[in-house]
């Protein structure tokens, strides 16, 4: 299992553990160099997931968004969850597609659902919602039933079709 | 089919009917469905078409994936807002005469998926002839709906398809509910975000 102590000192991480999952929280400006170190020097060669949490109105939360990277070392089976916190108005992170190409669509999904911009991503478009959609639906200030987008279509009657 | 009284002097193997009835009889017994199967109901639609339930007994076994060759659209499953323009386009591409069955709770009303992405009933945006309730409906229900459809075609069908021209109103509920408008007015807006603005009614 990876010894986190040197990394904690080097990157100023906060570490916690829940049911055998080790998690570290890192500042947003150091997340790229941490992930780069983890990949190149510690063998985390697979990026399982990139996802995001919106902490709006969450009890005790200090930051708006938490972006989560789940890593796997395929030769030792070691897993690590890296989290970083970012804030409005322009939540921005560097892309990790340069490290793991598989981050491509996951970052697009995070962008689509939460509006987090990944600088340096080569094709940051919406992936699930239609291109003309202008909100970020998984943000907590977006109503569950939407703002009427689902009703915004022409009605075709039988005589005109 | 309506049989007119036998005319004197005609041989036994000749019968007389109206052109409308003959056309409707032919159409209703060879419906070619367009399987617009987007979710779990689609599986049930496949089961209906396969050997155990055998939609072929009712002349509707030729599922075509090209709208140009179909005359019965079966919307099976939930339709999301990204899919709805596709659905409308496929509907417009189908040649006349055409009919539409909305299969399952989701296609009829959105079902349990009352969220920003799911259209709350396809009948709000395309004309629907028959609704099949259920989640999913049993194949028997779909077969019953098909028989009902044939019945409807027999009763209302005309050779020219002129029965459609009277249907100038949308059949579904109005796309915006009052509740929806109220909710969108009350929704908290974030400053400076470029978001969708609901139409002012
Ligand atoms: S009605 Fe039920 S079975 Fe049909 S698409 Fe909806 S959830 Fe699936």
pLDDT of residue B104: 93
Beta carbons of A147 and B195 less than 8 Å apart: yes
Q: Taking Cα atoms as reference points, which of B87, B38, B35, B95 lies closest to residue B60? A: B35
- Model confidence at B186, in pLDDT bands (50, 70, 90)? low
Name the β-bridge partners of B181: none
CATH 3.40.50.12280 fits B19-176, yes or no: yes
Which DSSP letter does residue B163 get?
Answer: G
Mean pLDDT of B12-23: 84
Q: What is the b/e burial string over B65-75, where b = at least 16 CB atoms within 10 angstroms of the residue's CB?
A: eebeebbbbbb
**pLDDT at residue A31 in the model:** 92
CATH number among 1.10.20.10, 3.65.10.10, 3.40.50.620, 3.30.460.80, domain A5-152 = 3.30.460.80
Separation between Cα atoms, residue A155 and residue A147, nearest integer Å? 18
Question: Degrees (nearest 5) of the Cα angle B4, B25, A160?
Answer: 115
Most confident listed range (A107-121, B9-23, B184-198): A107-121
DSSP H helices, B14-129, are 19-28, 40-49, 84-93, 104-109
Binned at pLDDT 50, 70 and 90, residue B201 comes out as low
Q: List the alpha helices (DSSP H) in chain B.
A: 19-28, 40-49, 84-93, 104-109, 139-156, 178-186
- Which pLDDT band holds residue B167 (cuts at 50, 70, 90)? confident
Domain ranges of chain B: 19-176
User: Mean pLDDT across the stretch A108-126?
Assistant: 92
How far from the centroid of its chain's Cα atoms is residue B30's Cα?
A: 16
How far away, in angstroms, is B84 Cα from ligand 1 center? Answer: 17
**Secondary structure letter of residue B200 according to DSSP:** P
**Contacts B175 to A, Cβ<8 Å:** 151-153, 155
Give percent of chain A with pLDDT exceeding 90. Answer: 55
Structure tokens at B10: 């005609």
- Categorize the per-residue pLDDT at B199 as very low, low, confident or very high, splitting at 50, 70 and 90: low
**Is B78's Cβ below 8 Å from some Cβ in A?**
no
pLDDT band at B190 (very low <50, low <70, confident <90, very high): low
- Using pLDDT thresholds of 50, 70 and 90, give the confidence band for residue B5: low
Distance CA B89, CA A86 (A): 42
Report the distance separating Cα B185 and Cα B200, nearest Å.
10
Residues 6+ apart with CB under 8 A from B20: B157, B158, B159
**Closest A-chain CA to B191:** A89
Nearest-by-CA chain B residue for A132: B196
Give the pLDDT score at A157.
85
Instruction: Quick: pLDDT tens for B145-157.
Output: 999 999 999 988 8
Contact A49, A72 (CB under 8 A): no
Q: Given ligand 1 and candidates B35, B36, B37, B39, which is best to mutate, with the most ligand atoms within 8 Å of its CB?
A: B39
- The set of protein residues with a Cβ atom below 6 angstroms from ligand 1 is B 39-41, 77-78, 104-106, 111, 135-136
Q: What mean pLDDT do residues B21-45 have? A: 92
Is the ipTM reported for this complex over the cut 0.85? no
- pLDDT band (50, 70, 90) for residue A44: very high
Predicted pLDDT of residue B92 = 93
Name the residue with higher pLDDT: B104 or B193: B104
Provide the pLDDT for residue A138. Answer: 92
Reported confidence tier of residue B110, pLDDT bands at 50, 70, 90? confident
From the CA of A7, how many Å to the nearest CA of chain B? 38
Give pLDDT, residue B175: 63
Per residue in A73-91, pLDDT (tens digit) is 999 999 999 999 998 888 9
Nearest Cα to B106, choosing from B125, B116, B119?
Answer: B119
Is A156 in contact with B91 (Cβ distance < 8 A)?
yes
If one compares B189 and A64, the residue with the highest pLDDT of the two is A64
């Amino acid at each position: 299992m990876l010894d986190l102590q040197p990394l904690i000192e080097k990157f100023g991480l906060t570490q916690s553990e829940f049911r055998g999952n080790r998690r570290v929280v890192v500042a947003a400006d150091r997340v790229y160099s941490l992930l780069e170190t983890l990949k190149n020097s510690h063998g985390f060669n697979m990026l399982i997931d990139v996802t995001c949490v919106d902490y709006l109105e969450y009890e005790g939360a200090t930051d708006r968004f938490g972006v989560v990277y789940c890593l796997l070392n395929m030769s030792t089976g070691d897993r690590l969850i890296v989290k970083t916190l970012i804030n409005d108005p322009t939540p921005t992170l560097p892309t990790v597609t340069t490290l793991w190409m598989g981050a491509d669509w996951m970052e697009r999904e995070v962008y689509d659902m939460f509006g987090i911009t990944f600088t340096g991503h080569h094709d940051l478009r919406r992936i699930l919602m239609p291109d003309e959609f202008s909100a970020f639906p998984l943000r907590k200030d977006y109503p569950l039933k939407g703002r009427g987008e689902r009703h915004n279509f022409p009605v075709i009657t039988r005589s005109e079709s | 089919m309506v049989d007119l009284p036998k005319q004197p002097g005609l041989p036994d193997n000749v019968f007389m009917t109206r052109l409308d009835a003959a056309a409707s009889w032919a159409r209703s017994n060879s419906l070619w469905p367009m399987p617009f199967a987007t979710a779990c109901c689609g599986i049930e639609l496949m089961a209906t078409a396969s050997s155990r339930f055998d939609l072929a007994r009712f002349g509707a076994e030729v599922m075509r994936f090209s709208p140009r060759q179909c005359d019965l659209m079966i919307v099976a499953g939930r339709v999301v807002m990204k899919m709805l323009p596709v659905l409308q386009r496929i509907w417009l591409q189908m040649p006349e005469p055409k009919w539409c069955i909305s299969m399952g709770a989701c296609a009829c009303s959105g079902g349990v998926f009352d969220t920003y992405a799911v259209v709350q009933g396809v009948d709000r945006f395309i004309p629907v002839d028959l609704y099949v309730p259920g989640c999913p409906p049993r194949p028997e229900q779909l077969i019953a709906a098909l028989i009902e459809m044939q019945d409807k075609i027999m009763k209302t069908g005309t050779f020219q398809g002129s029965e459609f021209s009277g249907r100038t109103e949308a059949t579904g509920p109005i796309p915006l509910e009052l509740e929806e408008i109220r909710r969108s007015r009350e929704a908290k807006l974030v400053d400076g975000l470029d978001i969708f603005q609901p139409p002012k009614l």
